[in-house]
Structure 1
Amino acid sequence: MTNRKGSIERFETGENFYSQQFFGCHKMVQKEKNGYVFRVWAPKAQTIWLVGDFNEWNRSLSLKKDEQFGVWEIFTTKPKEGDFYKYLVKQEDGREVYKIDPFAVRFEKRPKDAAIIHTLPEKKWKDGLWQGRKKRSNYFKRPLNIYEVHASSWKCEEDGSPYTFHSLKDTLIPYVKEMGFSHIEFMPLMEHPLGMSWGYQLIGYFALCSYYGTTEEFQEFVEECHLNNIGVLIDWVPGHFCINDDALAYFDGTAQFEYTDEIRAKNIRWGSLNFDLSKPEVQSFLISSALYWIETFHIDGIRVDAVSNMLYLDYDDGPTILNPDGSNRNWDGYYFLQKLNAVIKQAHPDLIMIAEESSSETKITGTIESGALGFDYKWNLGWMNDTLCFYEMDVVFRKYNFHLITFSFMYMMNENYILPLSHDEVVHGKRSLMHKMWGDRYKQFSQLRNLYVYMMTHPGKKLLFMGSEWGQFLEWKYDEHLEWIDLDDEMNHNMQHFTQILNTFYKNERALWELDHIFETIEIIDADNSEETVLSFIRKGKAKKDFLIIILNFTPIERKDFVIGVPFSGKYEEVLNTEMKEYGGTWTASNPVSETIAEPFKQFDHQIQTIVPALGAIILKPKEINTRSKKK
């Protein structure tokens, strides 16, 4: 009784971070009888019945209410593993509604939506080496190159049904390993009733979407990823939830999970409901969900979706309610996010916490003590918007808008950033990354290679959405698999090969990630050459000789005898050229080794000359240099 009362009290004070171990459906022995106990929080409900296969969906099983806490409970010997069940809730106004179990761990396949009684067996994990290495390493100083995946549209079976994680284990993991990505990030995997929502409108915060297979299959998938040195990240949506009548929405007939004020409760932009993040019970529920995914599946990181929606009262469309002083900060969301990060980091210091956040008014990454929210990384949506706007532009106008490609250097250290080329940019008529590029098909591939070099060499971690690695021309379709047939085309095949080479190059070059989040990682050579529209800069590692020189040409004009400054005298060799024939370009040989000339160039005492291909990018590396030579 003490444990029961303690679990409820911690839940009601926002401190029960394992509330799924008490609520939901659990095996139990009572008076020497084997059965199941069902518990649900619904303080304003009049009556709740447990209905399912085991009682022919009738009202024979009534739950008993704890009046002090608003928790309903029943023990029964009738159900068995695999049975379907729901709650029939007589709400405060007398309306009777079938509701799902908010803590259910398995559901039947949509469009059906009953929960399934399931006891998850304890798994004996085999990823100890991965976990140990993760604890000893500093992910800020390691390569982080994410392959973003929508699980049900990466590949499909011949009948159109999506691959489950059983099939993805044998296909996606070898592919990601071969391509050289360090992590897979999945769009939300939790139970959701509408595929069109891509998983961002949830009903089951503790259940793997039945469309994707079983809990055990996903555990095996993550384990296999770790055995192949691949990390797994997941998207998670604590800000808003599905408005469906049989789910969390107005569960007991009142604003139970959502805000009492209808304006704050409604999320007009996404047609959903906002969690009342000030409620202790909601905090317990959501943090329990996050820890459940981390610990049940050995997840390596969580990307929290739509953080701006939780931070600002006027983020949504339509009417808003501001603070009494007229400010727009949603303090409920602000303090919840700090609490979320504090709890998770205390339990799992090596877990990566990522925010998808679009404003610059709140410090997102950094310590909570400094006033930040406590995230490790933030998606750099400003970089993404400016960059894609620039690459979509006719080359004639690029020199007048050169700031779009250079402005990010002004704020690149304001947060710990991930540079995302995500799913959001290849849907809703925005066109695929390939289709965004200016010019004919050859020029589009040239610029796509150029874009990926710019992303890989710019400070910040990396993310690329599936299909973009080979330049899929069609927009992403959530209900169909990727256009794998593209790879029969030589240009797409060469593009995929280039992405693989670039990923490997990124992983092997410490200068591209070792000092990623401090200013010492980069030195601008020339960000003012708008007339020729060529950008050049240096990326540096810890060692003095460990640096790369990056030159990007954003015009279809080959720049012969192109001059740049270099930090040391000596020889520099080309280590990557986007216009090599093997990548889909026309060059059959690399630039020759460049020797320095003792003439000044901006802050440098030495310079070199090279050829920069049209719409191409080249990367140079010191071959024989004198590090005792000084720059101005």
Structure 2
Amino acid sequence: MNTPVSEDHIFPDAELLALAEGHHSGPHGVLGQHPLDEEGTTAVRVRRPLAKSVRVVLEASGRTIELEHLAHGIWSAVHNYGLDDYVIETTYEGGETYTTDDPYRFMPSVGDTDIYLFGEGRHEQLWKVFGAHVREHYGTHKFVQGTSFAVWAPHARAVRVVGSFNSWDGAQHAMRRLNERGVWELFIPGLGAHETYKFQILSQDGMWIDKADPMALHAERPPHTASVIAQPSQHEWGDGEWLAHRASTDPHNQPMSVYELHAMSWRPGLGYRELADELITYLNGMQFTHVEFMPLAEHPFGGSWGYQVTGYYAPTSRLGSPDDLRYLIDRLHQAGYGVIMDWVPGHFPKDAFGLAEFDGQALYEHPDPRLGHQADWGTYVFNFGDSQVRNFLVANALYWLEEFHIDGLRVDAVASIIYRDYSRDEWLPNKDGGREYYEAIDFLQEVNATAYKLNPGIVMIAEESTSYPGVTRATDEGGLGFGLKWNMGWMNDNLRYIAKDPIYRKWHQGDLTFSFVYAWSEQYILPISHDEVVHGKGSMFSKMPGDDWQKAANMRLFYSYQWGHPGKQLLFMGQEFGQPSEWSEDKGLDWWLLENDTFSGIQRYVAALNNLYRSTPAMWELDNDPAGLQWISGDDSQNSLLAFVRRDRSGGALAAVFNFSNHSLEGYELGLPSGGAWDEVLNSDDLAFGGSGVTNDTLIANGAPAHGHGQSVSLRVPPLGATFLRRR
């Protein structure tokens, strides 16, 4: 039976008004169903402004309970049938009746363990709890399909969910605050995937602000800024063999020749799925071992190339859905290619819909602008000392590794993270008066240690531009814990050297050889990245001196030295065929240049380098061990010549000779560590690559001692060229 309503005295008018207007911080404490005694007496309250009549229909008994209006559109009834699943029937003045479920009858969809782990800053799968998730959630007697929402907003007075499903009226979907940490939650029954939404946050100063979900798994395509309720993944992975092999090997001592690309402009118009076919076909010809995607997380401004992220958990919708990206990575793995992604945990943009002042004041960013503002990029810097912010970032790294099977993360701008004074005139010293950002260093150690522990075989890569010690040293030894570091010193020195006219190079031999002084101080990648071919720096081709033939020869020589030098390699798209124009994200690469033998010759040579590299353990097996290199000649500055032997663990040897002068060296006596036959396995001056044809047949090392070695060969060394000799 229905018990007469007499609840209007229980709730102050101000509280009912707050419920009606959607700024109550605990709506579930009033709305929904609530037991009043142990005998089954139950109160039901709902928010239905402008309704003519409201009733609830109990599922177990089929009984209908008429509700009476309290105030401000809040309706209530008391019945004696106990807690039950129910629906709400609402009739309006026009006679229309709508039947809906009640989001306020459900227990929290965020569990106590999740709240505890997040409070400790140790929730390693945070993306499964926060954000929006289509799921089943238990009501009173059964599970109900719907979408759960959870967000962290500790400074908020109230939080609401607004979206396409409620005509962007957040008053009907106010969230409840679960704890003092500021976790807010709401389960909306019957709500499914693909709807757009935002969180509407009431700040301490009384302003409502609309924010995209920091942990949305999908987002609208820019310039639109709403989050999207993601469809639960339907992708069935087929890369089990790849992952098993990855887990059993050490990537730091395996071949790694990386092709860096900007997915949106490699071949404009291709989505993730179309990229799979075309990129794999291209890689099969070029034989790189890995691809590295510039950031794929959602970002509002295409001109940032993805380095100003607003959706850290949302693959950019410019190219398709999250499952489309899974498909691309799966296909790359099955074709034998590793996948690295750029990750940007150092800073984020100030867009009003994003992380900036998320709940009305500094939350993700450090509140002191001397630490929280990065003037170079006009961005905010994460508050690395906050446990929840660090949890957000650590979990984000794990998200990409686990949910998308990414093989490695290249961490952007590490120097800007670890130094408090990075590009700042005014900065805040640490507790010891120094410039090191201890909390940020702790964060990097945590993310690296956790990533390696949970994902065997992955690699964490630092773009770190200073001489900070121990970037690739283990965290338990005080290092940052990265596996590899971009060798920016090598890049700067060698680009400066190769740009010089060959007649002047003999006075700058030190630029060429200095990298060997510190070659094993860290575990390195040698990068020619996008940063070297933008903002007026010109392309690699344009950096080279001389006419087009000399430019092409210099490029083949430079790449020979890059591949022969200890360390992994990285080359940005377009440079593998010598694109003369500077890269722009607004257009695709100049693929038409491959009709010209000058550029197709460069491309064929890079493919040949990769094939030699893949098949020659001496070029990578001891990258991180001085025993992997033996000098032949490092001081022949008169001839601008450099020569050394690369070795593998089983005794295999490859001699590499580089002539940076513009004249050939006929009959050059080259010392070698052992006698016998040495085959020329690759020569950058081969006619097949557009060279002049100064090559060698098989060489027999039986000459007089030279360069400190007991044997020598008489060798033809091509102008602006390199030759690789393998001991038979």
Aligned to 1:150: 262
The secondary structure found in structure 1 opposite 2:521 is: coil
Aligned to 2:549: 442
Question: How big is each residue's C-alpha offset from its partner over 1:528-575, in whole Å with a ceiling of 9 and x where there is no partner?
Answer: 11111111111111233x111111111111111212211112232322
Tell me which amino acid in the other structure corresponds to 2:564.
T
Question: How big is each residue's C-alpha offset from its partner over 1:6-31, in whole Å with a ceiling of 9 and x where there is no partner?
Answer: 21121121101111111111234342
Given the alignment, which residue of 21, 29, 32 partners 2:137? 29
Q: Does the CA contact (< 8 Å) of 2:110 and 2:185 recur in 1?
A: no
Question: How big is each residue's C-alpha offset from its partner over 1:127-166, in whole Å with a ceiling of 9 and x where there is no partner?
Answer: 111112112222233211110010000002xxxxx31111
Matched, 1:482 2:593: no
The secondary structure found in structure 2 opposite 1:468 is: coil
Tell me which amino acid in the other structure corresponds to 2:638.
E
Aligned to 2:225: 113
Matched, 1:586 2:692: yes
Shift in Å, 1:324? 4.5
Shift in Å, 1:67? 4.5
Matched, 1:10 2:122: no
Given the alignment, which residue of 377, 395, 403 partners 1:296? 403
Matched, 1:131 2:250: no
Counterparts of 1:123-202 in structure 2 under 5 Å?
A: 123-156=235-268, 162-202=269-309
Matched, 1:53 2:161: no
Shift in Å, 1:264? 0.8
Given the alignment, which residue of 615, 619, 626 partners 1:508? 615
Q: Does the CA contact (< 8 Å) of 1:19 and 1:285 recur in 2?
A: yes
Given the alignment, which residue of 558, 572, 578 partners 2:664? 558
Distance 1:39 1:297 in 2: 22
Counterparts of 1:35-434 in structure 2 under 5 Å?
A: 35-58=146-169, 59-77=171-189, 79-156=191-268, 162-434=269-541
Structure 1 88/463 Cα, relative in aligned 2: closer, same or farther at 3 Å? same
Q: How many percent of aligned residue pairs carry the same amino acid?
A: 37
Q: Does the CA contact (< 8 Å) of 1:249 and 1:257 recur in 2?
A: yes
Distance 2:656 2:192 in 1: 63
Tell me which amino acid in the other structure corresponds to 2:114.
S
Q: Size of the alignment, in residue pairs?
A: 616
Shift in Å, 1:620? 1.4
Distance 2:283 2:697 in 1: 34
Shift in Å, 1:508? 0.7
Question: How big is each residue's C-alpha offset from its partner over 1:384-438, in whole Å with a ceiling of 9 and x where there is no partner?
Answer: 1101111111222211111111001111000000111111100001111111011
Distance 1:56 1:140 in 2: 52
Q: Does the CA contact (< 8 Å) of 1:54 and 1:78 recur in 2?
A: no
Distance 1:127 1:529 in 2: 49
Question: How big is each residue's C-alpha offset from its partner over 1:179-206, in whole Å with a ceiling of 9 and x where there is no partner?
Answer: 1011111000000000000001101111
Tell me which amino acid in the other structure corresponds to 1:447.
N
Q: Tell me: higher relative CO, structure 1 or 2? Use CA pairs within 8 A at least 6 residues apart.
A: 1
Q: Does the CA contact (< 8 Å) of 2:505 and 2:640 recur in 1?
A: yes
Distance 2:414 2:485 in 1: 10
Distance 2:447 2:278 in 1: 34
Matched, 1:604 2:706: no
Matched, 1:525 2:632: yes
Matched, 1:615 2:720: yes
Structure 1 range deviating more: 232-241 or 115-124: 115-124
Q: Does the CA contact (< 8 Å) of 1:365 and 1:376 recur in 2?
A: yes
Distance 1:294 1:404 in 2: 38
Q: Does the CA contact (< 8 Å) of 2:343 and 2:411 recur in 1?
A: yes
Distance 2:497 2:403 in 1: 43
Question: How big is each residue's C-alpha offset from its partner over 1:445-493, in whole Å with a ceiling of 9 and x where there is no partner?
Answer: 0000000110111000111111111100001111211111111112111
TM norm structure 2: 0.83
Structure 1 range deviating more: 497-506 or 21-30: 21-30
Aligned to 1:630: none
Structure 1 range deviating more: 131-140 or 427-436: 131-140
Shift in Å, 1:498? 1.1
Q: Does the CA contact (< 8 Å) of 1:17 and 1:285 recur in 2?
A: no
Q: Does the CA contact (< 8 Å) of 1:187 and 1:234 recur in 2?
A: yes
Distance 1:34 1:134 in 2: 37
Distance 2:663 2:211 in 1: 64
Tell me which amino acid in the other structure corresponds to 1:40.
V
Shift in Å, 1:254? 1.7
| Structure 1 unaligned spans of 5+ | 157-161, 624-632
Distance 1:22 1:473 in 2: 48
| Structure 2 unaligned spans of 5+ | 1-107
TM norm structure 1: 0.95
Structure 1 range deviating more: 84-93 or 147-156: 84-93
Larger Rg: 2
- Off by >4 Å, runs of 4+ in structure 1: none
Tell me which amino acid in the other structure corresponds to 1:321.
L
The secondary structure found in structure 2 opposite 1:210 is: coil
Aligned to 1:497: 604
Q: Does the CA contact (< 8 Å) of 1:155 and 1:482 recur in 2?
A: yes
Question: How big is each residue's C-alpha offset from its partner over 1:217-247, in whole Å with a ceiling of 9 and x where there is no partner?
Answer: 1111111111111111111111111211110
Distance 1:314 1:536 in 2: 41
Tell me which amino acid in the other structure corresponds to 2:663.
I
Q: CA RMSD in A?
A: 1.5
Distance 1:29 1:142 in 2: 46
Distance 1:259 1:361 in 2: 23
Shift in Å, 1:615? 0.7
Shift in Å, 1:362? 2.5
Structure 1 range deviating more: 73-82 or 332-341: 73-82
The secondary structure found in structure 1 opposite 2:666 is: strand
Q: Does the CA contact (< 8 Å) of 2:247 and 2:455 recur in 1?
A: no
The secondary structure found in structure 2 opposite 1:527 is: strand
Matched, 1:595 2:707: no
Distance 2:449 2:572 in 1: 30
Q: Does the CA contact (< 8 Å) of 2:703 and 2:713 recur in 1?
A: no
Tell me which amino acid in the other structure corresponds to 2:532.
E
Distance 1:223 1:475 in 2: 32
The secondary structure found in structure 2 opposite 1:374 is: coil
Q: Does the CA contact (< 8 Å) of 2:290 and 2:340 recur in 1?
A: yes
Distance 2:306 2:708 in 1: 51
Q: Does the CA contact (< 8 Å) of 2:165 and 2:195 recur in 1?
A: yes
